[in-house]
Amino acid sequence: MSSAIDGVGRSAASSAAPKTPLLRVEGLTVAFRKDGREVRPVENLSFQIGHHERLGMVGESGSGKSLTSLAMLGLVDAPGLHVSGALEFDGRTYDLGSEALRRLRGDEISIIFQEPMTALDPVFTVGHQLREAIRRHRSVSRGEGKRLAIEALAGVGIPDPGRRYAEYPHQLSGGMRQRVMIAIAIACEPKLLLADEPTTALDVTTQAQILDLLRELNESRGMAIMLVSHDLGVIADLCDRVVCVYAGEVVEDASLEMALRAPSHPYLEGLLKAMPRVGSRGTQLYAIPGSVPAPGAAPRGCHFASRCSYAEDVCAEPQVLLPSRTGGSVRCVRHGELDLVGVSGDPHRSPAS
Amino acid sequence: MFRSIVKRLLTVVPTLLLASIVTFGLLKLIPGDPATVIAGDNATPARLAEIRGQLHLDESLPQQYGRWASHAIRGDLGTSLYSTTKIATTIQARLPATLQITLGALLLSVLIGIPLGFIAGWRSDSAIDKAARTISTVGIGIPNFWLGMLLVTVFALKLHWLPAVGFHGITGGLGQTAKYVVLPAIALGAASIAETTRQTRSAVLEVRNKDFVRTLRAIGLPNRTIFKHVAKNIAVPVFTVVGLQASRLLGATVIVEAVFGINGIGSLVVDSVSRRDYPMVQGVVLVMALLILFVNLVVDITYRIVDPRIR
């Protein structure tokens, strides 16, 4: 049985979300000034992640999802970018624009990136970098640090960790590097791991292995995961819940099952239709017409309206998040009237068993 | 790593051979007959032939090269055409002064240029960065002889802090040596300090924006650790610049030596060229080539130690 089906099963079972989430992002806004006008690539974005949850954040390139994950750790430092909003983690509230987020980094929330190629320092050994992360968290001797580092390498499924410990990043394959990156990210035993397109640069086989590893870490350590990806297939493989982001806004928030089978927002429906799947050979692959508007260029009303085949006059009005019929929320005034089509079964692998 | 260093050492042999042939050949291509210079304009043909015979100028070029090279390897660079002193002895006497001001200038480049460039790059567009950029532009723009004269006027003639001219060997104690080295080293090194600052700054600026630095920050490592990573990553470009500066400084000492009245290699070359003292020029050029070869070797070996990808 495919694991994505497991995910669907569990999320359905635990649909009663915990009272207090592990993390809540409130009104995250990233803004910069362009030609004297304030432009917001991410605007008033709010969502939450439960303890032990595996959340998928999906959206096309340019929808603001990577910026969101960076902003959550205070890592947005491009000159001129202004971050605001609040982040509540484990009962404490932080200002998203402040340096206080620093305290969360590594210890509470950690992050892995798309490019394992460049995310590691090329002139230090893998072991050195891992040991640094471990020793930041625990005051252990060098020798003990080394032992723990080798243990951590083994823990993320790296064969012959003793030898790999002394190697440099360029001596490892992309998949190995991503495993090392994960080992470094989880060295301080964070409660939440942000994974920003962690498998995009990897081949399909390695992709599946990395997702398996993330799932295993989630289950064995109870570490929550937020997977950011443009690939719904990857998200379907790992996550319990989906937050769909478009032009810097959350457009739909639903359990994985509902998101796949009964999307409430036309954009999510479009993403689902655009996924290639077994049996679609020979037919034209669907693509959502147009592209994500550049920051600041989105229509005043529903940001998706210009690309949406269901758009009507009401869509020119600013949209708010509404409760959806599937128990989540949706930013579409017409969602009640639309009967959108999802996919049946697991879109990533085989048809539903 | 050890193997690659040995390999690199071996490449010195052909380079040295080539350098010596070029050194030898270049002077042979220059018009002008040393025999005529020595014998004077009114010498008889027999006298000229005799001198040519003494200097082996009647032999074929490969023969002359072979003779010269085999002596050179043993440290015998021949005798000056102008005086009867041994070339090796003269170079030995002149080299320390040049080396001292060159090393002084290089030391200043490293001690001032690298830290200043690092801070400027890390805090780009800060006040420190702007100051560093202004100073380095000025440093590159100022001619070293002018700066030398300015320094002499201010610190030697007006303030009497340091001697205006001359040179003091290291045997007289480090303090004395330093006194004489400071001003020429600053005059010589100003452009190098500036260049080192600029290159270090741009290297830091580039590395600072790399993904792995974001990783280090993301897992909450302190700035101290991040600096360590950045420092090792900029090592290759920075060593390259310092190596280039070392070679450039060796060649640039001549003017500073003139300003500060130092009898170094630079003035020796100028004098020898104007006297058509072939063997002396050859000897000096060969020694310079050796020094530059050595600097490049050190830089290359440093690369291999610092960056595992180059091994």
pLDDT reading at B237 higher than 70: yes
Backbone angles phi, psi at A244, to 5 degrees: -100, 130
Q: CB-based burial of residue A269 (10 Å sphere; 0-12 exposed, 13-18 middle, 19+ buried)?
A: buried
Strands across the sheet with A92-95, in order?
A: A37-49, A23-34, A82-89, A92-95
A139 shares a domain with A82 = no
Beta bridge partners of A252: A244, A330
Rg (CA), chain B: 24
Beta bridge partners of A110: A193
pLDDT, residue B232, reads 93
The closest CB to that of A133, out of B219, B235, B309, belongs to: B219
Work out the percent of chain B whose per-residue pLDDT is above 70. Answer: 98
Q: d(Cα A250, Cα A57) in Å, to the nearest integer?
A: 9
A174 shares a domain with A198 = no
A164 shares a domain with A199 = no
Name the token pair of A146.
């080394």
What domain range includes position A103? 1-108+190-353
B129 CB neighbours in chain A (<8 A) are none
Beta bridge partners of A39: A32
- Provide the shortest C-alpha distance from residue A40 to chain B (in Å): 23
DSSP B277: -
Q: Are A165 and A205 in contact (CB under 8 A)?
A: no
A214 shares a domain with A69 = yes
B118 shares a domain with B251 = yes
Q: d(Cα B87, Cα B283) in Å, to the nearest integer?
A: 7
Q: Which of A311-315, B166-170, B226-230, B275-279 has the lowest mean pLDDT?
A: B166-170
The reply to whether A17 falls in a domain is: yes
A210 shares a domain with A175 = no
B117 shares a domain with B69 = no
What spatial distance separates the first Cα and last Cα of chain B, rounded to whole Å? 6
pLDDT, residue A345, reads 56
A211 shares a domain with A74 = yes
Which residue from A266, A208, A202 is spatially nearest to A233, judged by alpha carbons? A208
Name the token pair of B283.
């000897």
The reply to whether B260 falls in a domain is: yes
B122 shares a domain with B40 = no
Q: Are B215 and A136 in contact (CB under 8 A)?
A: no
Q: Where are the beta strands (DSSP E) in A90-130?
A: 92-95, 109-112
Q: Are A65 and A245 in contact (CB under 8 A)?
A: yes
Cβ contact A121–B218 (<8 Å): no
pLDDT, residue A88, reads 92
Cβ contact B210–A184 (<8 Å): no
Stronger pLDDT, B207 or B50, i.e. the higher one: B207
pLDDT, residue B191, reads 93
User: Which amino acid type is present at position B191?
Assistant: A
Q: What is the DSSP string of B100-152?
A: HHHHHHHHHIIIIIHHHHHHHHHTTTSHHHHHHHHHHHHHHHS-HHHHHHHHI
- Alpha helices of B156-277 — where are they, by DSSP H? 174-208, 211-218, 223-259, 265-274
pLDDT, residue A290, reads 84
The closest CB to that of A123, out of B220, B225, B232, belongs to: B232
Stated pTM of the model: 0.80
The reply to whether A114 falls in a domain is: no
pLDDT, residue A14, reads 42
A322 shares a domain with A232 = yes
Name the token pair of A248.
């810097």
A124 touches chain B (CB under 8 A): yes
Instruction: Tell me what ipTM this predicted complex has.
Output: 0.81
A332 shares a domain with A237 = yes
Q: d(Cα A218, Cα A216) in Å, to the nearest integer?
A: 5
B109 shares a domain with B58 = no
Strands across the sheet with A241-246, in order?
A: A109-112, A192-196, A224-229, A54-58, A241-246, A249-255, A329-330, A322-323
Rg (CA), chain A: 21
B130 touches chain A (CB under 8 A): no
Residue range B105-110: mean pLDDT, rounded: 94
B311 touches chain A (CB under 8 A): no
For chain A, the domain total comes to: 2
For chain B, the domain total comes to: 2
B/e letters for A120-134, b = 16+ CB within 10 Å, e = fewer, are bbbbbbbbbbbbbbb
- Provide the shortest C-alpha distance from residue A16 to chain B (in Å): 32
pLDDT, residue A128, reads 93
B101 shares a domain with B32 = no
A positions 131-170 inside 8 Å of B (CB): 132-133, 136, 168, 170
CATH code of residue A17 = 3.40.50.300
Helix (H) or strand (E) holding A58: strand A54-58
Q: Are A303 and A247 in contact (CB under 8 A)?
A: yes
DSSP B153: I
Q: Are A315 and A300 in contact (CB under 8 A)?
A: no
Q: d(Cα B80, Cα B86) in Å, to the nearest integer?
A: 6
B127 shares a domain with B268 = yes
Three-class SS of residue A172? coil
Nearest CA in chain A to B210: A118
Nearest CA in chain A to B123: A79
A259 touches chain B (CB under 8 A): no
Nearest CA in chain A to B124: A79
What spatial distance separates the first Cα and last Cα of chain A, rounded to whole Å? 8
Per residue in B18-63, pLDDT (tens digit) is: 988 888 887 777 777 777 777 777 778 888 888 888 878 888 888 8
Q: d(Cα B153, Cα B138) in Å, to the nearest integer?
A: 19
As a whole number of angstroms, the longest Cα–Cα distance in chain A is: 68
The reply to whether B34 falls in a domain is: yes
Which residue from A45, A49, A46 is spatially nearest to A17, judged by alpha carbons? A49
pLDDT, residue A280, reads 64
The closest CB to that of B229, out of A110, A124, A125, belongs to: A124
B122 shares a domain with B65 = no
- Provide the shortest C-alpha distance from residue B193 to chain A (in Å): 26
User: Is the sign of the CA dihedral B267, B272, B273, B278 positive or negative?
Assistant: negative
Count the alpha carbons within 13 Å of A299 in the hemisphere toward its beta carbon. Answer: 17
- Number of helices (H) and strands (E) in chain B: give both, helices first: 14, 0
pLDDT, residue A172, reads 92
* Domain final position from A181, A205, A223: A181
Cβ contact B221–A136 (<8 Å): yes
Name the token pair of B17.
């051979």
Q: d(Cα B193, Cα B115) in Å, to the nearest integer?
A: 11
Per residue in A140-198, pLDDT (tens digit) is: 888 899 999 999 999 898 999 999 999 999 999 988 999 999 999 988 889 999 999 98
Q: Which residues of chain A have pLDDT under 70?
A: 1-19, 278-281, 345-353
Name the token pair of A299.
């229509």
Q: d(Cα A49, Cα A225) in Å, to the nearest integer?
A: 8
* Domain final position from A159, A181, A203: A181
The reply to whether B84 falls in a domain is: no
The closest CB to that of A120, out of B212, B217, B218, belongs to: B212
Q: Are A331 and A320 in contact (CB under 8 A)?
A: yes
pLDDT reading at B169 higher than 80: no
pLDDT, residue A199, reads 87
The reply to whether A221 falls in a domain is: yes
Three-class SS of residue A227? strand
B69 shares a domain with B103 = no
What domain range includes position B209? 97-310
Helix B87-108 and helix B278-306, axial crossing angle in degrees, nearest 10: 40
Q: Are B184 and B163 in contact (CB under 8 A)?
A: no
| Residue tagged 């989880």 (tokens) | A186
